[in-house]
């Protein structure tokens, strides 16, 4: 479940940052706003459920590795997992920040782009760490 939710979330962020971000130059300002509005509405419907599964399953997996997390510097696995969890907490913080800005109607296009780019960098790093945890040792 964690892997499927991660694929859904990372794919959504990839689509918004790389695909939509690159398509902006081919669209009029009005069309861009309409597309961003429609994608945003759909994302606000789906992504909270994806995040619930992602973080719920992630918490369950972290519980299985609680011994490694108790002493994060004791192994490369523990350290990489700890960094991954910190980045995941940061992504969740971004999500909460967006929710607050949206409710206060202070989420403008510039802030949205910056937040999306930050989340994109975070999730790509998390994906690389997830793989590295099982192949990188010291």
**pLDDT 10s digits, 37-90:** 899 899 989 999 999 999 999 999 999 999 999 999 999 999 999 999 999 999
Instruction: Express each pLDDT in 108-118 by its tens digit.
Output: 989 999 999 99
Closest CA to 61 of 11, 116, 126, 138: 126
pTM of the model: 0.91
Any idea where the domains of the chain sit in the sequence?
Answer: 2-135
Q: Which residue in 96, 109, 87 sits closest to 10, CA to CA?
A: 87
């Amino acid at each position: 479940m964690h892997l499927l939710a991660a694929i859904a979330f990372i794919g959504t962020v990839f689509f918004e940052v790389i695909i939509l971000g690159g398509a902006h130059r081919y669209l009029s300002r009005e069309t861009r706003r309409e597309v961003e509005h429609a994608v945003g509405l759909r994302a606000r419907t789906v992504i909270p459920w994806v995040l619930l599964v992602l973080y719920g399953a992630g918490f369950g997996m972290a519980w299985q590795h609680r011994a490694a997390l108790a002493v994060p510097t004791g192994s490369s696995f523990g350290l990489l997992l700890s960094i991954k969890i910190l980045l995941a907490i940061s992504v969740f913080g971004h999500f909460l920040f967006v929710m607050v800005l949206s409710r206060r109607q202070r989420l403008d296009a510039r802030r949205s782009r910056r937040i999306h780019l930050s989340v994109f960098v975070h999730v790509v790093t998390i994906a690389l760490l997830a793989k590295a945890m099982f192949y990188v040792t010291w």
